[in-house]
Every structure is written in structure tokens, then in C-alpha cells.
Amino acid sequence: MEVPLSGVRAHISSHLPSWRALLALGLLAAASVSCSKSSQDPAERRRLSLKPCRLEGLATQAQCGTYEVFEDRAARTGRKIPLRVVVVPALAAQPQPDPLVLLAGGPGQAASRSTQVLMAVERIRRKRDIVLVDQRGTGDSNPLNCKTDSPEEGLSARLEEGKAAEEVRKCREGWDADVRHYTTPVAMDDLDEVREALGYEKLNLWGVSYGTRAALVYMRQHPERVRTAILDGVAPMGLYLPLFAPRDAQQALDRLLANCEADAACTQAYPNLRPRTEALLTTLETTPARTQVAHPRTGVLEEVVLSRRAFLAQLFAQLYSPEMSSLVPLMLDRATQGDWSPFVALSVGLSENLGRTVSHGLYFAVVCAEDAPFYDEAALVRESQGTWFGPTMGREVLSVCADWPRGSLPQGYREPVVSSVPTLLLSGELDPVTPPAWAEEAKRTLSNSLHVVVPGVGHNTIGADCARTLMLDLLTQGSVEGLSSACGTNLTRPPFFTSFAGPVP
């Protein structure tokens, strides 16, 4: 509490002989300031007990706890489920009161296991806590996990797309969960309850990929609790998974092949790559490839059978990262010549990592309630027309969702989110799943937003230093005003590998 100067003078004038009165006045003022500070300290309001813990891949000690919520939030009775909560404390002695909250992708990824991205926000953590809450159904929050392969399985089984969907049907019977209650709106109410238990008045949201949908939903359901939002790889409410994936992935692949054709070294190393690949796809449609390949980890020769569907599913995943896609021309060239070793080497690592980090059950709990009801076979065919990838991904989702217990959604759930929260939209120029056009769609109803496209970058931009600087600037000033719309103007696609030794020097 600030004491008016006139009041201080009157007090001093009437008590000149008493130094004790002056001291008392000073102590009262100090106590008032102290009270004001403590009321802003989230730790003073915290109701959730946290204990020191270590996260895999993160050197810094964190604080971990468990918060229980009703599985059926509407009924507020019955089974409760645990939510894993992690706070990575700010380095400052007096941190800012509003943390940065990571909303992970997928759907199905666990925030507490996304520690690699945390190393990119060290500058933010100097003054702000970083909060990670495993969304219900992921990580250690009553996970809807489904082991879709095992080390004993051969390479063909690991690479064949569609197998995970079949296994999830079997796994569902063993879950101690009502999958109808594992939707994004329910999870965002969970997050707000955790926010209150941690003592935070407001949050800075950081959504990545599907996490951008989660952030938008939180912004709509709890607008007064959001200070700023960062949406990286934007999936607005008009993007239905995976309806538009074939079209968006084909655009990224066409750009990659065009870049190779425009690069003298790439086109010399891989002449006529597009028509040769199209011929390979035509062959795979009727006759799967059969070959022997050394397992990338064991070196043991295995017979591999690859269908067109499996080949394209793995190619789709390889487009996410420009660093990985720099190997795609080499891989396509070798595959058209009957050498599948590069393809298998790229694909096995991706499939194993995905199996470890994504809850397949949560993926379908979200998509079967929030996406699949909004499209049909005709839409799948229309949106995949003229693409290599076709409607296969969408058909598999519709097949699983046909008998999936579907959660209910709030009325108007798929309408665009309208918000005036300061929002930074980040897009990778080469993104095969959430290209910049989707951020532009979201921006139309986010009145206080800035969209920045980072060149030479794929799905998610956190690897670009300029993107991290923009994030820090937004959080520091709490506004998009004055933020630069140019980011990484000197960045380009990584050079293509023209041999196993790498790019031409």
C-alpha cells in the first residue's frame, strides 16, 4: 500500500519527538508491500503438493506431483483419474507469476515426455516456470496405451500401416477407462483445475501441433485465464484429422521434388525421380515389393514385404523434418532400383519413436469424437484427389471410429475460436500437415495475433532461433505489438544428400 506524501508529512509533524513512530510507520509500509508481493506469489496459493524429481533428458531438477480429477467431469461422481503435473521452476529468485504451459501434440503425446523442446526455452525459464501436465489418457495420466509391436516382430510387421488401428480395438477392452470422457474440451477443464491448484492466476499457453487445438479450446473455455498464446504448427477448428493430410502432404512432397529438380547436384544424382517414383507406386499397387534388408539395429538380414500403403505411410512421416526429408530423394532413387535399405533405415527409427511417445488410444478418443463425425467417404476421396497418398489414412480412422464409444462435444465446438488474447502464430514453410494456410485461417478470428512463417522449416519451428526469440519477446511484453513478422530470412531447406556421404560440398 502506498502512503500519500501529505499523510507522511502530517504524521511526522505531529510526532517529531518519536523515532519509534517513524520506525513503526516504516515497518507497516514494508509489511504492506510484503503482503502485496505474497498475494502475487503462486507458491503461497498452491494446494498441490510437489516433490523434487528428474525428467528423462532434462538435466535440471523439476517438481512433480499428482492431481486427481473425476473421469466424468460433468457428473462429478465415480472414478477419479490421476494427472501427472510437472513444474520446471524459473531460475529467477522472484519469477513472473504466470508460467508457460506446454500443450503437446498428437493427439496422444505426453507433455512430461517432451523434454527435448524444453531445452529450447531456457531463456524463457530464466523468469518463468514451465508447466507440463500430461493430458488425460497420455503419459502417466491414466494412459490409453497400446503396444502395437514388439522387438521380436519382423521389419514387415513394424512398417505395415494399419496394424496399430487393429491392435487398438483389442487394447480398448483392457483399459480402466470410459473413452467417451477423453476429449479435448474435458482435458482443458482439467488443465484449468490444475492451474488453480498450482496457484496461478493466468497462463501463457504454448501449443504445438494438435496442442494448438487444445490451446484454442482453452482460450474459448477459460479466456480470462490466458495472458498470451503461442501456436506452433497451427491446427484450427476447421482442420479435421486426417481429412486434409493427403492434400497437405502432397503439396510438401511436390515442393521437395521441385526443389530437387531445381538443384543441379540433386537432379544430376537423381534424374527423372518423379516419374520413376510414380512407376514404382503403380507396381506396388498390385505387387508388393519383396526384398532382403539388414535390420538397421541388429544387422541381421530379414525378408521384407512392402505394400504401397506401407511405403506411402512411412514417406509421409519422413516429410515432417527437413533434415530427414533431405534424404528422401536418395531413398526414392534407391527404392526405384530395388534397394530398400535406406527406406527401412529411415522408417524403423520413426516408427519405434512414435510407438514410445504416442498414446494410440487417446488419439482415437479425440479423433473419433472431434474429427471423424464431420467427414465421410466422399469427402476423403474429394480431398485426396490427385495425391499419391489417397484416402487410406482417413478410411482407417473411419473404420476404427465406426464402433468407438464417442464422447459428446459442446455446441458449436467446431466453430472458429474468437479471441483477443495476444497470440503468436508460427508456421514452417515446408510443413506437410499444418502448412501456413491453416494459421491464416485461425488468424481471421484472432483479432490480436501475428502470423510468422519460418522458411526452410517443417512441422514446428522451435528449432529456429528467431522463433524462440519471438516467443520470448511475446512473453516479456505480453503483446504482439512491435514483434517482427520476418523470421529466419536467411534460412533455407537443408541441402539434399546426393550420396550416403552427404550433400555435395
Using H for helix, E for strand and C for coil, what is the string for 271-289?
CCHHHHHHHHHHHHHHCCE
Average pLDDT, the chain: 88
Label residue 353 by pLDDT band (50, 70, 90).
Answer: low
Q: In what order do the strands lie in the sheet with 203-208?
A: 51-53, 62-70, 80-88, 130-133, 100-103, 203-208, 226-232, 423-428, 449-454
Bridge partners (DSSP) of residue 221 are none
Distance, in Å, from the CA atom of 172 to the CA atom of 184, rounded to the nearest integer, reads 19
- For the chain, percent of residues with pLDDT exceeding 90: 75
CATH code, residues 46-242+410-477: 3.40.50.1820
Across 196-308, the runs of DSSP E, i.e. the strands, are 203-208, 226-232, 289-294, 301-306
pLDDT of residue 300: 82
How sure is the predictor about 8, in pLDDT bands with cuts at 50, 70 and 90? very low
Q: Is 422 left (phi over 0), alpha (psi -120 to 50) or beta?
A: beta
Enumerate residues 6+ apart whose C-beta is below 8 A from 6: none
Classify 89 as helix, strand or coil.
coil
Per-residue pLDDT of 116-173, as tens digits, reads 778 789 999 999 999 999 999 999 999 999 875 555 455 655 566 555 667 888 899 8
Q: What is the pLDDT of residue 343?
A: 92
375-398 per-position pLDDT tens digit: 999 999 999 999 999 999 999 999
End-to-end CA distance of the chain: 66
pLDDT of 290 > 50? The answer is yes
Query: So where are the chain's domains?
Result: 46-242+410-477, 244-357
E-state strands within 367-486:
423-428, 449-454
Identify the pLDDT of residue 157.
57
Residue-wise pLDDT for 197-246, tens only, equals 999 999 999 999 999 999 999 999 999 999 999 999 999 999 999 999 99
Q: Which tens digits make up the pLDDT trace of 316-350?
A: 999 999 999 999 999 999 999 999 999 988 887 77
Give the 3-state secondary structure of residue 294. Answer: strand
Asked whether the beta carbons of 123 and 141 are under 8 A apart, the reply is no
Q: What is the pLDDT of residues 456-479, one digit of tens each?
A: 999 999 999 999 999 999 999 999
Q: Is the pLDDT of residue 115 over 50?
A: yes
Question: Is pLDDT above 70 for 80?
Answer: yes
Q: Give the model's pLDDT for residue 155.
A: 63
pLDDT digits (tens, 9 = 90+) for 33-68: 333 344 568 878 899 999 999 988 788 889 999 999
Instruction: Tell me the per-residue pLDDT of 434-464, one tens digit each, with 9 for 90 and over.
Output: 999 999 999 999 999 999 999 999 999 999 9
CA atoms within 13 A on the CB side of 198: 34
Task: Decide the pairing of beta strands 203-208 and 449-454.
Answer: unpaired
Pull the grid cell for residue 328: 528422401
**pLDDT recorded at residue 40:** 65
φ, ψ at 379 (rounded to 5°):
-65, -40
Rounded to the nearest 5°, which phi and psi values hold at 38? Answer: -65, -30
Interval 23-35: pLDDT, tens:
333 333 333 333 3
Identify the three-state secondary structure at position 182. Answer: coil
Burial class (CB in 10 A: 0-12, 13-18, 19+), 51: exposed
Residue type for position 56: E
483 vs 22 pLDDT, higher one: 483
pLDDT higher than threshold 60 for residue 20: no
pLDDT at 390: 97
CA distance 137 to 153: 26
CA distance 220 to 412: 11
Length of the chain: 505
